[in-house]
Amino acid sequence: MTVNDLVQRFGLKVVAGDRGLDRQVEDGYCGDLLSEIMGNAPKGSVWLTIQGHQNIVAVAVLRDMAAIIVTSGQKPDDETRQKANQEGVPILLWPDSSYQLAGSLYSIGIGNTGAE
């Protein structure tokens, strides 16, 4: 499944990193503590967070993530969107909680090797 497939399926809003929409989503990860994300998020994951500052892009690049989904109605600042465009890291918006979206992603097989 690609990032663009997730955009279409869940009605996510793309606010940056359009050129990375064809990336493959291999897993998912939720969290807001950057050091924890840097140490544990799997390569190719889609990252759900409420953070919107530039450091999220740096962490996503470091961990080779497929995309960042900013949840709970939060929005990245202009500098973050600009950095994501430079790096080709998609930033998507989800209006509701990370918990809700994580459950939906898991139910379609993201991070769930036993799902159909």
pLDDT of amino acid 115: 40
Q: What is the CATH number of domain 3-107?
A: 3.40.1390.20
Q: What is the DSSP letter of 12?
A: P
How far is Cα 114 from Cα 94, in angstroms, rounded to an integer?
26
CA distances to 88, 103, 109, 116 from 84, rounded to whole Å, are: 6, 26, 26, 32
CA distances to 46, 81, 88, 97 from 111, rounded to whole Å, are: 10, 26, 23, 18
* pLDDT per residue as tens digits for the range 17-58: 999 999 999 999 999 999 999 999 999 999 999 999 999 999
How far is Cα 32 from Cα 4, in angstroms, rounded to an integer?
23
How far is Cα 23 from Cα 103, in angstroms, rounded to an integer?
21
The token pair at 39 is 């140490």
pTM assigned to the model:
0.94
* pLDDT per residue as tens digits for the range 52-90: 999 999 999 999 999 999 999 999 999 999 999 999 999
Q: pLDDT band at residue 113, thresholds of 50, 70 and 90?
A: low
Domain boundaries, the chain: 3-107
How far is Cα 53 from Cα 81, in angstroms, rounded to an integer?
9
Structural contact between residues 22 and 6, judged by C-beta atoms closer than 8 angstroms: no
